[in-house]
Chains A and B, each alone.
Chain A
Amino acid sequence: MDKIGQLNRRTVLKTALAASVAQVASPFVIRARAADAIRIGMVDPLTGVYAAVAQNEVIGAKFAVEQINAKGGVMGRPLELLVEDSANDVGTGVQKTRKLIERDNVQFIIGDVNSGVAQAMAQVTNEKKVLHVVSGGHTDGITGKDCKWNVYRVCNTTRAEANSVSELLFKNYGKKWHFITPDYAFGHTLQQAAAANLQKLGGTITGNELAPLGTADFSAYLIKARAANPDVLLVLPQGSDMVNCLKQIAQFGIDKQIHVAGLQQELESLEAMPPEARVGVWMFEWYWKQPNTPGLDQFVAEIRKRSGGKVPTARTWFGYTSVWTYALAANHEKSLDGVKLAKALGNFELPPEVKLQPNKVYYREGDHQLMTTAFVGKALQKAAGDPEDLFQVDSMVAGDQVNPPVSETGCTLQWPA
């Protein structure tokens, strides 16, 4: 080999040596820190299609850690948050969760935005007996037929989302519905829940277009939907898919002929749309503007300082609440034991400074689902005052009213002996 080749080999050797020294050295650092701080881990898709919402969850979680530590930490010890990127991939999410538990000795796990990743992570945390709060994965199974004693969830089930909007749409806009549904677990359960509600109310479905995840062009589905002549067109894809779909609906002028609506909507998506695409009736899981909610203004102001002036979204609140859940339970129980904390969270009610919304907000004992307020309203084409005020909340429905009873969720919790 020439000279360059030799140099390369040396560089490789040096790097390998440095890496092995780092491997040996790092455990000392971990031990020294572990003596005082309590480590908690967060796994979220910081890269990939859900990066925007995941990053907001992290901002909320970091702020909660800051607040908790300023108030004396957990049992007098500070919290230390370790954040890992699941890259929106099940294998990576599982691997990062294992790493956090086995190598970094975290006491508590938060994540993931992606339902599939969250479910796989729950297998790991269950096996390791570590308390786990699912911050942002909505598929029903997590607090339904796949529920686990150590897993709680902050965000809503797809059933609850469908229940919060269905009746309103039926009464105000008509009984013939057409769906555009993302073709994966989340979309299927969401569509089935809405379809079941529609059937109960006595309406009809004119069609259900299954669009693959990552569809950029929805024109073919929209041509079919308009030809079916429904009263309401329900747009169920999320993230950039929803942005694309609503943009095309606006360009084609379909919103002027058919009522456009959906179930779940997020501020991150509305902000990515041009004004003409912000149409329809939706449900928000949390909103930053509410009348007379104690502590809300301060929360919004503090988050703005940490996110370059952006307001908190539902995702920010999910991350924030997930961390506070752990701190509240551990301080209440004076223990870090996973089983003890999981037991304590059953029917645990969030205090006003954490819940930041009206109605009673509590973790249901039977399925470990957080009962939160559904914010039902309309997307605004023209921002109301603040440029980020893009949603008009018409009603705030208590979680108990939109969630099915525990007996219907299919959840049976198996506690360790």
Chain B
Amino acid sequence: MLQLLLFNVTNGVIIGAFYVLMALGLSLILNLSNVINFAHGGFLVVGGYIAYTITPYVGFWGALLIAPPLTAVIGLVVERILIRPLYGRDPLYSLLLTFGLAFILEDGTRFIWGAQGKPVSVPPLLSQPLSYDFFFITGYRLFMVVMVIVAVGVLFALLRYSRLGIRIRAGTLDLETVSALGVNVRTLRSLNFAAGIFLAGLSGVLAAGQLGLEPTMGAGLLMPSFIAIIVGGVGSLTGTLLGGLLIGVASGVTAVFLPAASEAIMYVLMAVVLLVRPRGLLGEEGMMT
């Protein structure tokens, strides 16, 4: 029993790491621009399908490098044309827009690549379990965790040390003052949105290797990411990181005792956090008002 529990905690961390990657992108966009991006799952799927399309020409590693920036470019165009006009308005407008956009992206991928799922193979190097006992730790899953750590490390370093990152963090706290100091807020928001979508694209490529591709797969991966943000606290990227890992582990441990509730436990956790500490674990009071 203890072994089973240990296995599932480890496994939960692996799953949680993936939620973190997805949730960080969402969180970036939400914090700076107050846009609840319901289309994030759609961008994930687009990223995965782009990787699928270019893999025959550039291989898995090439696709991993090229697909996320391409997705970010699509995100940039969408931000410029559709989302920018809504910045001054109530967040409800952008929520409705991205909600619709999620359907358009899903139907768009279905139209282009077909409704039938696409098989995606990972390099043979990564497709084996590392050991007989820890059969659930495959090379690919370990690789995913490493990728998440790298992406999170780079993101946090950029936010802390680069000029753009410092502006994004400042804008999250007080966009008006940042604007008054002469920073071009439009460009700042665009780049920030693109960075968020880049993470969605990266999640898509990684998810494709793990799960295969299907036009509807984004929706199922989106909800845990929202929960991660709420549990961790809106406005705090470290909170999002913590929230993602926490729900992954909670879901893994629940699967040992009550498998049918492994999904529901995430919502229970969210409800408890909202009741006891409405701002989330590391969230700041008064965000999202």
Contact = CB atoms under 8 A, between A and B. Distances in A.
> Do the two chains belong together in a single complex?
yes
B115 to A, nearest CB: 4
A398 interface: no
Interface stretch (A29-37, A127-135, A251-259): A251-259
Given A253-B129, A273-B212, A210 B259 contact: yes
A281 to B, nearest CB: 21
B35 to A, nearest CB: 23
Interface string B260-278: 1011100000000000000
Contact of B256 (A55, A215, A216, A220): A220
Given A252-B136, A272-B117, A223 B15 contact: no
Contacts of A253: 128-129, 135
A373 B18 CA distance: 44
A410 interface: no
Contacts of A240: 117, 211-212, 214, 216-217
Residues of B contacting A: mostly: helix
B215 interface: yes
Nearest to A49: B216
Contacts of B121: 274-276
A227 interface: yes
B138 A272 contact: no
B7 A223 contact: yes
Contacts of B114: 52
B100 interface: no
B80 interface: no
B81 interface: no
Contact of B118 (A211, A223, A272): A272
A221 B255 contact: yes
A183 B212 contact: no
A49 B106 CA distance: 11
A277 B118 CA distance: 13
Interface in A96-115: none
A216 B107 contact: no
A54 B215 CA distance: 14
A221 B254 CA distance: 11
Contact of B4 (A183, A224, A275): A224
A220 B251 contact: yes
A222 B11 CA distance: 11
A223 B115 contact: no
Nearest to A46: B115
Q: Which 4 A-B pairs have the closest CB atoms?
A: A272-B117, A220-B255, A51-B115, A52-B116
Interface of A: 47-49, 51-52, 54-55, 183, 209-212, 214-217, 219-224, 226-227, 240, 243-244, 247, 251-254, 268-269, 271-277
12 contacts: A47-B110, A49-B214, A51-B110, A211-B262, A212-B260, A216-B217, A222-B136, A243-B212, A252-B129, A252-B138, A271-B119, A275-B121
Given A251-B129, A269-B117, A272-B118, 19 more contacts: A51-B115, A55-B115, A209-B259, A210-B259, A212-B264, A216-B211, A219-B14, A220-B11, A221-B259, A227-B3, A243-B211, A243-B212, A243-B214, A247-B212, A251-B140, A252-B136, A252-B138, A274-B120, A276-B127
